[in-house]
Amino acid sequence: MSEPSDTAGYNFAYLDEQTKRMIRRAILKAVAIPGYQVPFGGREMPMPHGWGTGGIQVTASIIGRDDTLKVIDQGADDTTNAVSIRSFFAKTTGVATTARTEEASVIQTRHRFPEKPLRADQILVFQVPIPEPLRWLEPRESETRKMHALGEYGIMHVRLYEDIALLGRIATAYDYPVRVNDRYIMRPSPIPKFDNPKLDNNPALLLFGAGREKRIYAVPPFTKVKSLDFDDHPFEVQTWDHACTLCGARDSFLDEIVTDDLGTRMYACSDTDYCADRREAAPQTVDASEAAE
Amino acid sequence: MYVAVKGGERAIAAAHQLLAEERRGDPAVPELSIAQIEQQMSLAVDRVMSEGALYDRDLAALAIKQARGDLVEAIFLIRAYRTTLPRLGYTLPIDTGRMAMRRRISATFKDVPGGQVLGPTFDYTHRLLDFTLAAEGANVSPPQQPSINNPAPIPPMPRVTDILAAEGILAPEVDIDAGDTIADLTREPLAFPADRDARLQALARADEGFLLGLGYSTQRGYGRSHPFAGEIRMGAVSVEIQPEELPFPIDIGEVELTECQMINQFKGTAETPPQFTRGYGLAFCQGERKAMAMALVDRSLRAAELGETADSPAQDAEFVLCHCDNLEASGFVQHLKLPHYVDFQAELGTLRTLRAERREAAE
Amino acid sequence: MTSDRPLLNVQNVSHYYGDRAGCLDVSVDLWPGEIIGIVGESGSGKTTLLNCLSARLQPTAGRIFYDQRHRGLVDLYALSEAERRFLIRTDWGMVHQNPRDGLRLGVTAGANIGERLMAVGERHYGQIRDKALDWLGRVEIDTARIDDLPQTFSGGMQQRLQIARNLVTGPRLVFMDEPTGGLDVSVQARLLDLLRGLVTRLHLSVVLVTHDLAVVRLLAHRLMVMQRGRVVESGLTDQVLDDPQHRYTQLLVSSVLQA
């Protein structure tokens, strides 16, 4: 990625005000129709499509000088793409950045929902690669829009039925489809289904931006979000037989890390901020040998 | 003890440093100037301007230099810059009928008013490496006669398609009324069904390689459309604006373009007699391969509106338009190298569970 | 179930393709539990008429009324698209000549049958499964094949699966377009037998398009003979076939006898 050596020639948060207004209008519409994908005139951004340009445009349109921004990728603040996006906003807005979930007013994320509970004064912005939940079943945009409009969602359950019939369980592990406010079916972006329950009735505003596909959608605060399932095969989340090696957490999403050539594994929180806090509060709650059980 | 990876920031900075060094190459070799790229890599500059959708030779040359000659990357740089530019106004439609031409050929008539003019083309070169070019600095070719070196442009001539249209044998293009708004994909997202104005804009910005392959597929039977190269012309046209306070338009400069109009057979319907129809291609400067491929694909995408069966990839507007932009394609293909630890972990867990269940069932 | 009004009431329906008439001025009533056959050679307009009747092709002129459950007579083409699509997937069925058009070949037989149930809100996997098994049995497909893809089925099985997929939600009206076309004679006979049993037991109304007079003789109560877009003769099936009045019908009947 090349960076402008001088951002003086660019507007606050890179986008011009006209574009931001257009995006804010799309966001307002998205909030008014929870789960509905609002088309918007997505712009080219100085980073590649598929790398978070949708989330970046949403963040750029809502961020103000008093905001504090947190950017995570895979739950971590220090993954390269998170670093790159955070430095982009630091450079183009000069706003304060943080790694601490509770300090942030705007959090941009890829693939995770933070472990710490969010508040009503926070906004979580998701980067979305493919917004259309019906895409793998029906590739045509003209047809999927009709299916949404008419609420023809039977096909979504066909997919779940097939999993159970052939594999004995629902095999979708991430980007698990949800129904928002009893109306639109939505892709929550590729978060693990472990995070799906956090979407439901969350106090924070959840915004989803898909730059390449030029769609914005939203889950307003305190909105019902239900993961699709069957009455006799209810939705369930991942569990681990391990605790985090670093902080001992048993309630967070764990990364599996291969530590040597023999395939030895260890497990650690994917949410680095959550993990760091726990270690600070109670260091050495668990030692590595126990955690690796 | 495992420590959460720190130092993403340092790694990125180091990568940028390496990139800068690679771009410069051996410091003992003189650095390329923007002017050299602009003058001697001119077809690369032309392509970056077309697909970057910005007519600025110097910026395109800069982008090529910065991108180390990777044209898709250079196009990206130009697009990302372009999107920040204020929109000051809209020009009047350009008139290629008034083009000052440097090249003009028609495959449909042996001679046409204005004649056939080859211009600067690779067409009849023998593709033999010219080792004299390897002798840098030494000017081995004798100086050309000035008239050949810089022939006067051909004065404006009617387009072959105008001649056919006058006879009524070529379907007229739909006039856009002054009040109609023309699609602008840089402002509004693509929606389907997409009208021809939106389709043409998408194709004009589309990846040349993608259009080339698609256009080729129509010639091989995937949506055959019987094309003739009615006319290809290359040259400069005036760009005009119409200020509200003036009764006449103002010439604000000129751009060089390549225009291709393909002529295709059409069997007609109950309402319309058999006639020719058009496929249209346009590219900045000397983008002839692109303009021709674009014209083939444009005509293919008209299948539905002309009542032809549309079952080939090049006739499928959603397929073509959603996948023709190299920024989108390159970004999304390459995003696969970003971390997917979390999704992969989730998938891993599911797979292990399923395998364990199968083992148990087998026991 | 008796009724004092038709399920489908067709009034002077015509459809034009440009200048050419696909079907011309067709009027007919279809009563609950009745099977009506539409015969004619290819190009006679029978498929155009079927498409008009099944809400997939807007007629150029004329109107079609359907007696919707809980609602009474509705003008098909005055319904919103949402209402029309809902009607099609709940109260109607469509059996295509080519199973490829009527099945999802990429998902299992069970999912093919279950899809319509899930589309109308069934959310209990076990119950969907039970109904799928029940319907496989009813259309004489080995229930052990429930998790197999339709691609691995024979032509006759695919056709029976298509029928099960349509009937699982208990529709009242089924459209069939050459349901036995492309099948061997022995397979055809078995399918016709099955269809006749199901239709009678479920008190279905059927619009059956075919060029095969043997099929209509076996299934249809009434018959419409089409030629160049027009209905040239109609009446009770046996009556029309045994004592055809129109020259074209006579020709059709005699050509079958000769064959």
HEC profile of chain A: CCCCCCCCCCECCECCHHHHHHHHHHHHHHHHCCCCCEECCCCCCCCCCCCCHHHHHHHHHHCCCCCEEEEEECCECCCHHHHHHHHHHHHHHCCEECCCHHHCCEEEEECCCCCCCCCCCCEEEEECCCCCCCCCCCCCHHHHHHHHHHCCCHHHHHHHHHHHHHHCCCCCCECCCEEECCCEEECCCCCEHHHHHHHCCCCCEEEEEECCCCEEEEECCCCCEEECCECCECCCCCCCCCCCCCCCCCCCCEEEEECCCCCCEEEEECCHHHHHHHHHHCCCCCCHHHHCC
Q: C20 CB near a chain B CB, below 8 Å?
A: yes
**Average pLDDT of A261-289?**
82
Grade residue C15 by pLDDT with cuts at 50, 70 and 90. very high
Mean pLDDT of A96-115: 97
Q: Is A35 considered catalytic here?
A: yes
- Comparing CB atoms, the residue among A14, A48, A74 nearest residue B339 is A74
* pLDDT over 60 at C154, yes or no: yes
Residue C207 pairs in a beta bridge with: C36, C175
Q: Which has the higher per-residue pLDDT, C185 or B57? A: B57
pLDDT at residue B140 in the model = 53
List, for residues C62-106, the tens digit of each pLDDT value: 999 999 888 889 999 999 988 898 888 889 999 999 888 899 988
pLDDT digits (tens, 9 = 90+) for B130-182: 989 988 766 555 555 545 556 677 778 889 888 888 888 888 877 666 567 88
Please give the average per-residue pLDDT across B240-265, as a whole number: 94
Q: Which residues does chain A have within 8 Å of residue C85's beta carbon, measured at their own beta carbons?
A: 150, 152
Q: What letter represents residue C212's amino acid?
A: D
Instruction: Decide if A138 touches C, using CB distance below 8 A.
Output: no
Q: How confident is the model at residue C254 (pLDDT cuts 50, 70, 90)?
A: confident
Question: Mutating which of C81, C89, C107, C131 best tests the A interface, going by the most A Cβ atoms within 10 A?
Answer: C107
Q: C143 vs A221, B129, C136, C194, CA distance in Å?
A: 48, 70, 6, 17
Which chains pack against B, by 3+ Cβ pairs within 8 A? A, C
Instruction: State pLDDT tens for residues B14-39.
Output: 999 999 999 999 999 999 999 999 99
pLDDT, one tens digit per residue, over A119-141 is: 999 999 999 999 999 987 787 88
Average pLDDT across chain B, whole number: 89
- Whole-number average pLDDT of chain C: 91
CA-based nearest residue in chain A for residue C111: A158
Please answer yes or no on whether A232 and C89 come within 8 Å at the CB atom.
no
pLDDT, average across residues A189-205: 97
Task: Residue A211: name the closest of B79, B73, B316 by CA.
Answer: B79
Q: What confidence score (pLDDT) does residue B176 get?
A: 62
What does the pLDDT read at residue A202? 98
| Average pLDDT of the segment spanning A175-188 | 96
Separation between Cα atoms, residue A201 and residue A224, nearest integer Å: 5
3-state DSSP assignment of residue B241:
strand
pLDDT for C168 equals: 94
Which chain A residue is nearest to residue B66, measuring alpha carbons?
A2
Yes or no, beta carbons of A254 and B345 under 8 Å apart: yes
Question: Which of C81, C108, C119 is nearest residue A162 as measured by Cβ atoms?
Answer: C108
**Sheet arrangement for strand A225-227:** A184-186, A178-180, A225-227
Q: Where are the domains of chain B?
A: 9-82, 96-119+155-174+184-324
Beta bridge partners of B4: none
Between C56 and C256, residue with greater pLDDT: C56
Provide the pLDDT for residue A21: 95
> Which residues are B63's β-sheet partners?
none
Q: How many CB atoms lie within 10 A of CB B154?
A: 18
Q: What is the pLDDT of residue C1?
A: 46
> Does the pLDDT of residue A3 top 70, yes or no?
no
Tell whether C82 lies on the interface with A, counting CB pairs under 8 A.
yes
Nearest CA in chain B to C20: B270
Residues of C numbered 104-123 whose beta carbons fall under 8 angstroms of chain A's beta carbons: which are they? Answer: 104, 107-108, 110-111, 114-116, 118-120, 123
Residue B289: the pLDDT is 97
- Secondary structure (H, E, C), C209-244: EECCHHHHHHHCCEEEEEECCEEEEEEEHHHHHHCC
pLDDT class of B3 with cuts at 50, 70, 90: very low
- Write the ipTM: 0.86
pLDDT band at B5 (very low <50, low <70, confident <90, very high): very low
pLDDT given at position A266:
92
Any idea which of A170-179, C57-66, C79-88, C225-234 has the lowest mean pLDDT? C79-88
pLDDT tens column, B50-73:
999 999 999 999 999 999 999 999
Segment C193-214 mean pLDDT: 91
Q: What is the pLDDT of residues A146-162, one digit of tens each?
A: 999 998 898 899 999 99
pLDDT of residue B1 exceeding 50, the answer is: no
pLDDT at A34: 98
**DSSP-assigned letters across all residues of C118-151:** HHTT---HHHHHHHHHHHHHHTT--GGGTTS-GG
B25: CB partners within 8 A, 6+ apart? none
Residue A1's pLDDT is what? Answer: 39
pLDDT at C199 over 70: yes
Task: Give the residue from chain C lying closest to A166, CA to CA.
Answer: C147
Put simply, the answer to whether A111 touches B186 (Cβ < 8 Å) is no
CB of B301 within 8 A of CB of B315? yes
Please tell me the distance in Å from C147's CA to the nearest CA on chain A. 7
Mark whether A54 is an active-site residue: no
Question: Measured between CB atoms, which of A41, A45, A174 is closest to B187?
Answer: A41
Catalytic residue among A54, A209, A247, A248: A247
Report chain A residues whose CB lies below 8 A from the CB of B355: none
| A211: annotated active-site residue | no
* Chain B residues within 8 angstroms (CB to CB) of chain C: 269-271
In this predicted structure, the answer to whether residue C166 has a pLDDT above a threshold of 60 is yes
pLDDT average, residue stretch A11-15: 92
Q: From B12, B76, B8, B63, select the one nearest B37 (Cα to Cα).
A: B63
In 3D, which of B48, B37, B41 has the Cα closest to residue B80? B48
Task: Please give the residue that has the higher pLDDT: either A117 or A171.
Answer: A117
Look up A52 and say whether it is catalytic.
no
To which H or E segment does residue B317 belong?
helix B317-323
Give the closest residue to B252 by CA, choosing from B50, B92, B48.
B92
Q: Is the pLDDT of residue C259 over 50?
A: no
| Number of alpha carbons in the 13 Å side-chain half-sphere of residue A105 | 11
The average pLDDT across C1-8 equals: 77
Pairing outcome for strands A225-227 and A184-186: unpaired
Most B CBs within 10 Å, among A44, A112, A215, A271, to test the B interface: A44
CB A190 within 8 A of CB A174: yes
Under the banding of pLDDT at 50, 70 and 90, the label for residue C2 is low
- Kindly state whether A232 is in contact with chain C, defined as any CB-CB distance less than 8 angstroms: yes
Q: What is the pLDDT of residue B33?
A: 97
Selecting from C110, C118, C119 the residue whose C-beta is nearest the C-beta of A165 gives C110
Whether the predicted pLDDT of B44 surpasses 50: yes
> Tens digits of per-residue pLDDT, B275-316?
899 999 999 999 999 999 999 999 999 998 888 888 899 999
- Chain B residues near residue C19 by CB distance under 8 angstroms: 270
Active site residue A275: yes
Q: Which of A26, A36, A127 is nearest to A73 (CA)?
A: A127
Q: Are the beta carbons of C20 and B270 separated by less than 8 Å?
A: yes
Comparing B150 with C122, the larger pLDDT belongs to C122
pLDDT of residue A7: 62
Token pair for A67: 């905001």
Q: What local confidence, expressed as pLDDT, does residue C37 receive?
A: 95
Residue C5 has pLDDT above 80, yes or no: yes
Name chain C contacts of B271, Cβ cutoff 8 Å.
18
Pairs across A and B, CB distance < 8 A: 158
Please give the backbone phi and psi of residue B68, each rounded to the nearest 5 degrees, phi first: 55, 35
Give the residue carrying structure tokens 């692109």. B290
Q: Are strands C205-210 and C173-177 parallel, antiparallel or unpaired?
A: parallel
Query: Cβ contacts (< 8 Å) between A238 and chain B: which residues?
Result: 346, 349
List of chain C residues whose C-beta atoms are within 8 Å of the C-beta of residue B270? 18-20
Higher pLDDT, C149 or B178: C149
